[in-house]
């Protein structure tokens, strides 16, 4: 399945290539004799595609793990794949312009590919989903299984919400040549609570890039990745497309398993893509349509997205 929306002349020095994948659900049915390998094989294909296409980074939209407390086998398989495909000597061309303390919650207080003790050739940025969301622990803060990978320097976990009644979304600022990306992330919050905070109480604050952040604030291309219901299920209220700020340029919608990689919207609001799950976890019609990862390119002033 291939879909290209591209125009204009691309300058390689300015092109930011991003591979997008959501809902990998590592460990799903891992004890099943036939399907136990599916989630790992699909995730390895995502990583292999990222390396073959030489993308600047891989962006995951939540639910990397299927279980909130993944088994040792699943954790080991995940870490082994990350070491195989993300570690290496190839240089990373995207410059990290943010204050790590503002965008990362504990653990590694730096982006992993700028850590002098790490050797990362494929950066990964990810939010959490509803399956691997932070839960209570014996320590002072809630932790997700993804926190372990972030603390180990294997990926970069952002979009964590410490107070669901007052949410502040700080962007990760990335630059390559003249292309500047403000990457916003919001890990899963219970739908009813998020709707109340966002719509009823107007307590979701978006931190926009300031003049001191390398370039003119208007020059940033604003990407938002979230992991929420996109359609209503039962009587629960949910985030709707009309609630998204009009200044957002591109939205990557995780949690919905149906693949709708074709670009939607964009008239009076942001362009939206819904990659869907990389592994089928149910027999619903939406999951029977197959899935893809999105290979996106960004060059001033164009956006390209290709399913692969």
* Active site members: 131
Assess contact for 180 and 219: CB atoms under 8 A.
Answer: yes
Assess contact for 185 and 159: CB atoms under 8 A.
Answer: yes
Assess contact for 20 and 275: CB atoms under 8 A.
Answer: yes
The H-or-E segment that residue 194 falls in is helix 191-195
How far is Cα 184 from Cα 207, in angstroms, rounded to an integer?
9
Backbone angles phi, psi at 128, to 5 degrees: -95, 160
Q: How many CB atoms lie within 10 A of CB 267?
A: 5
DSSP class per residue in 54-106: T-SEEEE-S-SBSSSS--HHHHHHHHHHHHHHHBSSPPP-PEE-S-HHHHS-S
**What is the 3-state composition of the chain as percent helix, strand, coil, each rounded to the nearest 5?**
20, 25, 55
């Amino acid at each position: 399945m291939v879909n290209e929306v591209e125009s204009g002349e691309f300058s390689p020095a300015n092109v930011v290539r991003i591979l997008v994948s959501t809902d990998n659900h590592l460990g799903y049915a891992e004890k099943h004799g036939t399907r136990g390998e599916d989630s790992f094989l699909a995730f390895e294909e995502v990583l292999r595609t990222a390396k073959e296409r030489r993308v600047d980074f891989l962006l995951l939209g939540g639910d990397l793990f299927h279980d909130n407390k993944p088994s040792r086998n699943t954790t080991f398989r995940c870490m082994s794949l990350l070491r195989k495909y993300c570690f290496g000597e190839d240089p990373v061309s995207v410059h990290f312009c943010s204050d790590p303390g503002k965008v990362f919650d504990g653990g590694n207080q730096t982006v992993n590919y700028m850590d002098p003790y790490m050797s990362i050739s494929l950066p990964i940025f990810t939010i959490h989903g509803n399956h691997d969301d932070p839960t209570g622990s014996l320590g002072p803060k809630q932790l997700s299984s993804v926190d372990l990978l972030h603390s180990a320097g294997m990926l970069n976990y952002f979009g964590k919400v410490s107070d669901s009644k007052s949410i502040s979304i700080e962007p990760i600022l990335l630059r390559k040549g003249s292309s500047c990306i403000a990457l916003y992330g919001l890990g899963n919050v219970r739908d009813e609570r998020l709707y109340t905070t966002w719509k009823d109480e107007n307590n979701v604050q978006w931190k926009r890039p300031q003049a001191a952040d390398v370039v003119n604030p208007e020059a940033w291309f604003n990407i938002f990745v979230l992991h929420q219901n996109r359609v209503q299920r039962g009587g629960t209220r949910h985030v709707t497309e009309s609630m998204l700020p009009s200044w957002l340029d591109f939205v990557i919608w995780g949690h919905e398993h149906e693949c709708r990689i074709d670009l939607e919207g964009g008239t009076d609001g942001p362009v939206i893509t819904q990659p869907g799950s990389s592994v089928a976890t149910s027999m619903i019609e939406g999951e029977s349509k197959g899935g893809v990862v999105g290979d996106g390119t960004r060059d001033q002033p164009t956006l390209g997205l290709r399913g692969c």
